Amino acid sequence: MRPRFFKRTFTDSYIMGKLNRYDAPAAKRFFKNVLTSPHNQSPREITVDKTPAYPAAVQQLKDEKVMNQETLLRQQKAAIFD
C-alpha cells in the first residue's frame, strides 16, 4: 500500500529510474528538456531521491528563469514505485 501523500507520475518515475547515477549538468539538461516541452505545465513541486545533483540543478534553472521560483524540490530518502 502506497502512502497517501505520494502521487506517482511518469516524470517522477523517470527521474528516479534514470537520473540517479548522473551529475548536476545532466540533471539540469533533463529538467530543462522536460520543463520547456510544449505539452507540459509548470510543476508546483518535484519529488526526487536524495542525489546531491538535484538541488544544484534546480537552483540554476530557477536563476535562469526556466523554472518558477515557487516550484518546490522535495527530496525523499526512498520512494516506492509499484
Q: What is the pTM of this model?
A: 0.65
Q: Cα(58)–Cα(1) distance, rounded to whole angstroms?
A: 30
40-52 pLDDT per residue, tens: 788 899 998 888 8
Q: Cα(18)–Cα(68) distance, rounded to whole angstroms?
A: 23
Amino acid, single-letter form, for residue 40: N
62-81 pLDDT per residue, tens: 999 989 999 999 998 865 65
